[in-house]
Amino acid sequence: MHGALAAIFNRTRTVMLLLVIVGLAGAYSYLTIPKEAAPEIDIPTFIVTISYPGISTEDSARLLVEPMERQLHALPGLRRMIARAGEGFATIQLEFHAGFDQQSALQSVRDETDNAAPDLPDGADPPTVREIDLSLFPILTVALSGDVPERELIRIARQLQDRLETVSGVLEAELSGDRDDLLEIIIDPLAMQSYGISAQQVSQAVRDNNQLVTAGAFDTGSGRVGVSVPGTIQTMADVLAMPVQVIDSTVVRVRDVAEVRQTFQDPVSYARIQGQPTIGLDIKKQARANIINTVAAVKAAVEETRPDWPDQVRVDYLQNQAEDIENLLGDLENNVITAVLLVMLTVIVALGLRASLLVAIAIPTSFLAGILVINLIGFTMNIVVLFGLILVIGMLVDGAIVVVELAERYRDEGRSRRAAFLAASQRMLWPLVASTATTLAVFFPLLFWPGVAGQFMLYLPATVIVTLSASLLMALVFVPVIGSLVPSGKSPLAPQQGPNRVHAYSRALQYCVANPGFALGLSLLVLVGSFAIYGTLGKGVSFFPAVEPERAQVQIQADGNLSVREADRLVRLVENRVVDQPGVDRVYARTIGSVQARLSANLAPDIIGTLQIDFTDWRVREPAAVILDRIRETTSEIPGLGIQVEEQQAGPGAARPVQVELSAADRAHLPPAAARLQALMAGQGTFVDIASDVPVPQPEVRVQVDREQAARYGVDITTLGNTVQLLTTGLLLGSYLPDFAADEVDIRLRYPVEERTFAQLAELRVSTPNGMVPIANFVELVPAPAPSVINRVDARNVQTVSAGIAPGTTVTAELARLRQAIDETGFGDSVGIRFAGEVEDQQETVTFLVIAFLTAIALMFLVLVTQFNSFFQATLVLSAIVFSIAGVLLGLVLRQEPFSIVMSGIGIMALAGIVVNNNIVLIDAYNAHRGSGLDSAEAALRAATERFRPVLLTAVTTVVGLLPMMFGMTVDFFDRDLYFGAPSGQFWIQLSTAIVGGLAVATCITMLLTPAMLAWQCKGDER
């Protein structure tokens, strides 16, 4: 390797050319790499849907769900199966382990669904499999609202949809909030009675005259002539002119007995922005498209089309990921610049201007090389990648500092610049390779982190590994080569060398070397004391850092079989109390009328509507917790409604931190058990927005038919069902494709709206061979309660109680209290209790981090034993990891931050790779001095004194680089601003605090303890 380095120094032009190429390619990659806020989390999820119109909820669970569960539960890689049975439908959601092959999972689901199809009832529709691709969630919602007719707003939205789907980078623009077109035939009962015509005759006439007839062709021998029989409906006029009955010579047409009108389907939902009806276009991007550029192009297309619209039409942009990304990346980019400047200033103070410029070269070039590789392997630029870059800022210069500092030392001895830098690079080759390998050994196991948290954090170890590998090349090749080319001469800003600089350290070091027991005892005292201090003054344990949200959602819960209009009136009551709250910028209200639509939106079946709240800028408003508490207080005064407030979740945590699943073989045991659990949680006083998904029985009317009596009148179930549909959603007669629509439009036959009442059902008449007969002659209307939905998880009957946590406490602490209360109360053997949600992710993460930490320790120990050929010295190096935990805990106490399982855990693992580097450099110097003949004490003193400056400098640069993140400080270089507490930085406060505190304490301890232990061990060997 030494020969290779010498050969490289003879090819300086090649080295400089490679450096320029890497820099330019990295800069181009940074400009073109796709950018997103949070990393893309790949969780294969599929929904199997089965429709069976008219089936009851109980029968849906028994006949539709259970056969599918038996077939699907053994799928390889399946993590969770959630089934819901409702009236007329059943859905099974299949969630596979994060990272499981998407296509393999999809094929398995389709195969097993096909295998289960023969076990379903004959009347059920074939099961459909829908893939939920999280990467295809909307990046922007374009919301159109205003005081214009609904038909005009829908027309504008559809035209805009066509325009936006031509924009580069847009995969799809999906309409939401609009209603499908409908051709409605409204029966005139009096006219029909006077003509003696039944609804069945009208429906049969329309069906028979709306057929696509394939008449074939004539082969004349000299040619082929096609024959067509145009039989489909083209316009509304075709329906009006359609003959229904001929009486003598008079033709009775549809227009004589009914009104035909072009309208919309009955509303099943409503949407508003700031109280105005709205229609949204959800924009989905193409794979690898840049979100920022795509959103900018979409906005430009909207503004280009806008002059053609009425002035009353308003455009709002919701869920704008580009805006989030620009804010997040802007804050983090400013933090990167701040960290680089602080590190450079620190190096200038320590080494002087000339040497510091050489060291500083390692930062941007390593960054650009890392970004180039990240782009090549298909990663995006997101907040985790950017924090990975911030994390390694201080570490990137470690190797360069050691090499440059040693080269300057050689220069002071009289060597030429080329000889000095070549010798420094060759001398520090193996120590730097070993220190980098130990750091990479820590991050390497994190690449295999399972679950959602692993998908989220994968980018961090990958970024660190790539950039640190690039920094090793910079330290050993590029920086020394550049240093050998710099003209000779001392910098006027070079610091003065002399013994006074390390005098205080030398006195403390001499005492520790002479009294190794004191050094070891003091170190252990600090370690034990840190645990005691954190146990007394610490803030407990959390899964993921709490981040100031930019949005929140209010879920409105109501019991009863409400119509969509009744539900909308209740949603408006809540909306009116929220819209004018201080700190609220915009409110997007949605009323959801059907149970199936609520379940599709991942809501409980009794959630009648939601309010999506966008807050004003975090710098000019109160904290979101204060605003949401005020919303809870204001809306709690509305009687009969349940209000749940959900903050925007940052990171990989569950939607609600507390989720307790109750299971039982008999579903009747679950509602009372859920009520008892809710009472326990309410009594504890630290849970907020407590809710359960126990369905409230909904009243329904069952039309019980006396089949024998109906047969005497010549009526069958199909005829009766068709007649009843005239009062409800209307009888579907077919469809047609008008010029103004892109899709086929349904044609439905209905009674007038004033006759579509519940009272009319009892008086309904049905056509029989003997004329019109009241259905009351053979039908009995029976009221009965029915569950709106039945929930099953992993083939078990399950109801879930969920809640949030009040500020000032942690999920771990409150669940421990709740477990104790449950044990004291006792729920009996018939009900099983399982804690899901955040605690489930937390347990999975803790298990992995422990295994990853032990694996990293084993890998580092292997590298160190290979480097030093000594078990004692390898163990001594690793001891720095243990003592660094003291600094982690003390730093969290000073910052009053909880110990985050994810972030603080990663901080300890990152520390494991950082703090050992100081020991490696120190022990390497010690071994060199011992090899030259010095005794153990003198070798330990000289090695520690010589390495004091580079060790201290590498530690200080890492600490200084992370200090802005630790204090939540952002310096905006572009807008010339300084502020604290940006939401983008709150992710990383606990991690940076752990590294800063751990590195500061570990450096102080190891610079005294390591030399003392080295001298003590050699003295023991000599004795």
What tokens does 1017 get?
Answer: 């061990």
Mean pLDDT in residue range 418-428: 88
354 within 8 A of 407, measured Cβ to Cβ: no
**pLDDT at residue 17, rounded to an integer:** 93
DSSP assignments along 618-664, one per residue: TTSS--HHHHHHHHHHHHTTSTT-EEEEEEPP-SS--SSSEEEEEE-
Comparing CA positions, the residue from 499, 437, 443 lying closest to residue 472 is 437
Q: What's the whole-number average pLDDT of the chain? A: 84
**pLDDT at residue 813, rounded to an integer:** 82
Ranking 173-182, 307-316, 832-841 by mean pLDDT, the lowest is 832-841
Comparing CA positions, the residue from 252, 235, 232 lying closest to residue 243 is 252
In tens, the pLDDT along 138-149 reads: 889 899 998 888
C-alpha to C-alpha distance for 371 and 35, rounded to whole angstroms: 12
**pLDDT at residue 1019, rounded to an integer:** 61
Q: Which amino acid would we find at residue 539?
A: K
Q: Give the three-state DSSP class for 275.
A: coil
**pLDDT at residue 963, rounded to an integer:** 86
In tens, the pLDDT along 954-993 reads: 788 888 888 888 888 888 887 788 888 888 778 778 888 9
What tokens does 511 get?
Answer: 């005492």
**pLDDT at residue 754, rounded to an integer:** 87
In tens, the pLDDT along 678-689 reads: 889 888 888 888
944 within 8 A of 510, measured Cβ to Cβ: no
The yes-or-no verdict on residue 341 having pLDDT over 70 is: yes
**pLDDT at residue 135, rounded to an integer:** 61
Inter-CA distances, 143 with 302, 320, 835, 946, Å: 11, 11, 39, 66
Top pLDDT among 695 and 967 is at 967
Top pLDDT among 387 and 361 is at 361
C-alpha to C-alpha distance for 310 and 335, rounded to whole angstroms: 45
Q: Write out the E strands in 235-349.
A: 243-247, 250-253, 258-264, 269-273, 276-285, 314-318
In tens, the pLDDT along 551-585 reads: 888 999 887 678 888 999 999 999 999 998 999 99
The yes-or-no verdict on residue 499 having pLDDT over 50 is: no
Q: Which amino acid would we find at residue 266?
A: D
Mean pLDDT in residue range 353-372: 83
Ranking 186-190, 264-268, 380-384 by mean pLDDT, the lowest is 380-384
pLDDT band at 786 (very low <50, low <70, confident <90, very high): low
In tens, the pLDDT along 927-949 reads: 888 888 888 888 888 888 888 88
C-alpha to C-alpha distance for 829 and 826, rounded to whole angstroms: 9
Q: Which residues contact 991 (CB under 8 A, 6 or more apart)?
A: 387, 391, 900, 903, 904, 906, 907, 910
In tens, the pLDDT along 28-53 reads: 998 888 877 777 777 788 999 998 87
pLDDT band at 301 (very low <50, low <70, confident <90, very high): very high
C-alpha to C-alpha distance for 691 and 674, rounded to whole angstroms: 9
The yes-or-no verdict on residue 653 having pLDDT over 60 is: no
In tens, the pLDDT along 821-839 reads: 888 887 878 888 888 876 7
The yes-or-no verdict on residue 491 having pLDDT over 50 is: no
**pLDDT at residue 498, rounded to an integer:** 43
**pLDDT at residue 494, rounded to an integer:** 43
The yes-or-no verdict on residue 643 having pLDDT over 70 is: yes
C-alpha to C-alpha distance for 689 and 658, rounded to whole angstroms: 11
pLDDT band at 532 (very low <50, low <70, confident <90, very high): very high
C-alpha to C-alpha distance for 308 and 45, rounded to whole angstroms: 41
C-alpha to C-alpha distance for 472 and 750, rounded to whole angstroms: 77
**pLDDT at residue 342, rounded to an integer:** 81
Q: Which residues contact 294 (CB under 8 A, 6 or more apart)?
A: 139, 167, 168, 169, 170, 283, 285, 322
Mean pLDDT in residue range 710-731: 86
Mean pLDDT in residue range 528-540: 89
C-alpha to C-alpha distance for 599 and 601, rounded to whole angstroms: 5
pLDDT band at 519 (very low <50, low <70, confident <90, very high): confident
pLDDT band at 411 (very low <50, low <70, confident <90, very high): confident
**pLDDT at residue 484, rounded to an integer:** 85
Comparing CA positions, the residue from 525, 523, 529, 528 lying closest to residue 1010 is 523
Mean pLDDT in residue range 840-858: 81
**pLDDT at residue 495, rounded to an integer:** 45
What tokens does 700 get?
Answer: 């329904």
pLDDT band at 276 (very low <50, low <70, confident <90, very high): confident
**pLDDT at residue 1018, rounded to an integer:** 65
DSSP assignments along 140-178, one per residue: EEEEEE-SS-HHHHHHHHHHHHHHHTTSTTEEEEEEES-
Mean pLDDT in residue range 662-670: 87
pTM: 0.73
Q: Give the three-state DSSP class for 587.
A: strand
Mean pLDDT in residue range 364-391: 84
C-alpha to C-alpha distance for 429 and 1, rounded to whole angstroms: 8
Ranking 360-364, 821-825, 892-896 by mean pLDDT, the lowest is 360-364
